[in-house]
Chain A
Amino acid sequence: MSGAFRGGTHPHDFKEFSRAAAIANAPVPDELVVPAVQHIGAPAKICVKVGDIVKRGQVIAEAGGFVSAAVHSPVSGKVKRLDKTAHPMGMTVDAVILENDHNDEWAEGLNTEPIDWTTLTAEEMKKRISAAGLVGMGGATFPTHVKLSPPPEKKIEAVILNGVECEPFLTADDRLMRESPKTIVEGLRIVMKIVNAPRGIIGIEENKPEAIASMQQAVSGINDIEVKPLPVMYPQGAEKQLIFACLGKEVPSGGLPMDAGAVVQNVGTANAIYEAVVLNRPLTERITSVTGPGIERPGNYRVRLGTPAKVLLDLCGFKKGLTKKLIYGGPMMGAAHYDETVPVNKGMSGILALTEANEDDYRDCIRCGRCVDGCPAGLIPSEISILCERVKYLDTPSVNVLDCIECGVCTYVCPARRPIVQWIKVAKSMLAAERARQQMKAKQEQEKKAAKA
């Protein structure tokens, strides 16, 4: 029953919708909406003007800091206007609206013939990755070059590739592993060289036997890389849980993977790393699953970033009337949205149309303990939810709310249908606001003191 980590649950995986569909190239629309915010960290700064002619791969928004990523033009064409667009998470962000000239010309020096990456130094490769605007493509969208820059005192024991794809419905990583295992392995070897790791592990859930076979074949003959089939258990693909499953080590509470001697990358990111380093290709497209019961012909598509979701939905036969929930990402952690024109961004691993919604009303906690059994972070979600229900948000750190990874297991299993994750999100933001208030107060007091002195 138990997975490789403590807790977890078994949602039906619903992969049957799109697992058989090979990755196809999605049509490139005439107009693309490229948001400047496609990653966690500082927003990128738009560096083109209306009317500018851009080539594919040209930087249209520069990284806004170290923890940030550049955005590149996904097509060749003209900047039509600068506007706002909806982000999957609900906010409105700046975007560049491009007119596609359908020539698909790469900017100079990009998309070159493959080079032998072993001749490059770690720094050179990291520079290429950073320049390509790579971010974690599993959905967290953390800038990749930051993850690949552990402080020198942290010894990296292993690089783990995340091919778990534990979110139900999504099959993009599955298909990628089946169709281009070689580039993924090359990407992994590049990462291993950059962080100087002696081992590579590719973790894949056992419900993807084809992907496991394909990856195993690709790594045959490579001694330092191992394909590790993992038991099917949500959230096996959560970073810390995956490290535990692969290395048997816990990442300290509040720590980073590197504290357990691990660097974790998504398989999609590994593929993009290969493209960035070997082919000098910036990130201009990604694999996205379009699936769910509200989709007539579910499939996996190689999509240009900035393609409005509507293009894909229409392509796949979107049953709009039947769809009750439109989700960008997976059903456990993805964001429900009201707008079907949200453009595909670097972290959008799936577009999901669900025809059924959950019940809306919730009851008192019945103390069944299912959330406690399921919580992979070892928390007592019911306690957190009760505190939050009584608007005692500021007391929640005592029940370790900040250790929550928001995987959604507690809310999935709750028979009283309590929206625990939402409460936790509220509590976290309240705590952040309170912290900001405290800092402000301390600063003001300091200033007062300084003024007095």
Chain B
Amino acid sequence: MSPLTHFIVSTPPHIKSEQNINSIMRWVCLALAPAFCVSLYSFGWYALFVTAVCVGACIATEAICQRLRHVPVTINDFSAVVTGLLLAAVIPPNVDWWVAAVGGIFAIAVGKHCFGGLGNNIWNPALLARAFLQVAVASQMNSGAWGKLAQGTDGWTKLGHTLHGAFDQLANTPDAVTGATAMAQISRPVAETKDFVMQNIPGYWQLVKDSFWGYEGGSIAEVSAVMLLLGGLLLLWKKIITWEIPVMYLGTVALLGWICPAPYLYQGETLYTPLFSGPVLLHLVGGGVMIGAFFMATDMVTTPMTKTGRIIFGIGCGVITIMIRVYSSAYPEGVCYSILLMNTCVPLIDAWTKPKKFGQHAAASANHAGK
């Protein structure tokens, strides 16, 4: 039945802001683009292939899950694309293609739709998938030998082997160029002198510079701190994200990274560096802090809704990151787990930081005066 007038009637407001889920997700994709460009330059086409596999797996899984759940299929809102990109960003560039696919499927199916789809998940899907891969295929994720400017031939070779069914060869495929990532160098370094300070070792500045520009090894899109910073600033400028989480996260990482005495090995003995001597810059530009602070910890669904809550969240992420980075002997990098742990705390933070309703204070004091 067609209505009698063509005027649309709804409750106010009759105008809406320009930001909707689609536009937000598209801006995030755009903000990630420069970092992926650098990864293409650093790691070659195979990195792009891994990214494509991640994104493709995410989109396909989203469509299938939504079909199964009998809800509208919303793959054109770009949220699955963002999850795929973020997942690709935090896995090594030389993983097997099926690792990327499994990660993508896990991220969407378990990380998102098990909880009820976009908006209802507790943990950041991309990070959840990374954590899953970290335990499931540790050898691929923790090689600690991600190619520095490796032109990625190894990945293609592996792919070729896989396609030919030569699975047994996989384990033996050597990495083309090996070298510890920046984070692996921070975590319990072996020192040659007794009063070791990270900043004083030769090559420290080179390491910082390389990490900043993206010549250092690492996961696909977390290599170039400067590009991630640019992307993050774009999101801040477009008001897609708010300042609280990135600023508090990076600030806490810098502060604690500077203050905390770091353990190091000297002639088989564990010693600690003095207070206020941590490698601040390396903490900021190395590893996944940049992508964590701007893209992962700012995921709207899994972060607190109030401003105070976001500040607490950012600080918490920073504290846990430094704890893992500096003191954990098992993991050189703590961004992933710090954000996942803080995601877990979000309902609690939200409950603590409920905004005061307008006039509550006045009402309370009026009551007080009345008594």
Direct contact of A and B (CB under 8 A): yes
Among B20, B120, B357, B362, the residue within 8 A (CB) of A249 is: B362
Q: Which residue of A lies closest to B346 (CB)?
A: A367
Q: Does B84 contact A (CB under 8 A)?
A: no
19 CB-based A-B contacts, threshold 8 Å: A250-B361, A253-B357, A255-B362, A255-B363, A255-B366, A327-B12, A338-B5, A338-B7, A352-B14, A357-B8, A359-B16, A363-B118, A367-B305, A368-B301, A372-B306, A382-B305, A411-B16, A414-B16, A421-B11
Among B6, B16, B120, B306, the residue within 8 A (CB) of A369 is: B306
A contacts with B, residue count (CB < 8 A) = 70
Q: Which of B87-143 contact A (CB under 8 A)?
A: 116-120
The interface residues of chain A lying within 8 Å CB-to-CB of B117 are 364
The interface residues of chain B lying within 8 Å CB-to-CB of A357 are 8, 10, 14
Q: Which of B1-22 contact A (CB under 8 A)?
A: 3-17, 19-21
Q: For the complex, would chain B's binding face be called helix, strand, loop or mixed by DSSP majority?
A: loop
Bound-state CA distance A251–B357 (Å) is: 11
B contacts with A, residue count (CB < 8 A) = 48
The interface residues of chain A lying within 8 Å CB-to-CB of B118 are 363-364, 366
Contact indicator A379/B116 (Cβ below 8 Å): no
Contact indicator B20/A416 (Cβ below 8 Å): yes
Q: Which residue of B lies closest to A413 (CB)?
A: B17
Contact with B along A412-429 (1 / 0, CB 8 A): 111111010110010000
Q: Which residue of B lies closest to A327 (CB)?
A: B14
How far apart are A425's CB and chain B's nearest CB, in angstroms? 6
Q: Which residue of A lies closest to B19 (CB)?
A: A415
Q: Does A254 contact B (CB under 8 A)?
A: yes
Q: Which of B3, B16, B362 has the most CB of A within 10 A?
A: B16
Q: Which of B24-77 contact A (CB under 8 A)?
A: 24, 72, 74
Q: Does B300 contact A (CB under 8 A)?
A: yes
Contact indicator A334/B14 (Cβ below 8 Å): yes
The interface residues of chain B lying within 8 Å CB-to-CB of A253 are 357-360, 362-363
Bound-state CA distance A365–B119 (Å) is: 6
The interface residues of chain A lying within 8 Å CB-to-CB of B310 are 369
How far apart are A251's CB and chain B's nearest CB, in angstroms? 5
Contact indicator A378/B119 (Cβ below 8 Å): no
Q: Known interface pairs A338-B7, A363-B119. Does A331 touch B14 (Cβ–Cβ under 8 Å)?
A: yes
Q: Known interface pairs A338-B9, A412-B16. Does A364 touch B119 (Cβ–Cβ under 8 Å)?
A: yes
How far apart are B131's CB and chain A's nearest CB, in angstroms? 21
Contact indicator A376/B8 (Cβ below 8 Å): no
Q: Which residue of B lies closest to A12 (CB)?
A: B15
Contact indicator A421/B13 (Cβ below 8 Å): yes
Contact indicator A367/B119 (Cβ below 8 Å): yes
Contact with B along A248-289 (1 / 0, CB 8 A): 011111110001100000000000000000000000000000
Q: Which of A368-415 contact B (CB under 8 A)?
A: 368-370, 372-373, 375-380, 382, 400, 403, 406, 408, 411-415
Among B6, B72, B303, B359, the residue within 8 A (CB) of A255 is: B359
Q: Does B356 contact A (CB under 8 A)?
A: yes
Q: Does A53 contact B (CB under 8 A)?
A: no
The interface residues of chain B lying within 8 Å CB-to-CB of A364 are 116-120
Chain A interfacial positions (CB closer than 8 Å to B): 5-6, 9, 11, 168, 240-241, 244, 249-255, 259-260, 323-327, 329, 331-339, 352, 354, 357-359, 361, 363-370, 372-373, 375-380, 382, 400, 403, 406, 408, 411-417, 419, 421-422, 425
The interface residues of chain B lying within 8 Å CB-to-CB of A338 are 3-5, 7, 9
Bound-state CA distance A176–B307 (Å) is: 39
Q: Known interface pairs A333-B12, A416-B21. Does A252 touch B366 (Cβ–Cβ under 8 Å)?
A: yes
Q: Known interface pairs A337-B7, A363-B119, A369-B305. Does A325 touch B14 (Cβ–Cβ under 8 Å)?
A: yes
Among A336, A358, A408, A425, the residue within 8 A (CB) of B9 is: A336
Contact indicator B301/A366 (Cβ below 8 Å): yes
The interface residues of chain B lying within 8 Å CB-to-CB of A168 are 15
Bound-state CA distance A333–B356 (Å) is: 24
Bound-state CA distance A359–B362 (Å) is: 39
The interface residues of chain A lying within 8 Å CB-to-CB of B307 are 373
Contact indicator A419/B7 (Cβ below 8 Å): no
Q: Which 8 A-B pairs have the closest CB atoms?
A: A369-B305, A408-B13, A252-B363, A364-B119, A253-B359, A368-B300, A378-B357, A252-B362
Q: Does B354 contact A (CB under 8 A)?
A: yes
Q: Which of B345-361 contact A (CB under 8 A)?
A: 354-361
Q: Does B316 contact A (CB under 8 A)?
A: no
Q: Which residue of A lies closest to B77 (CB)?
A: A363
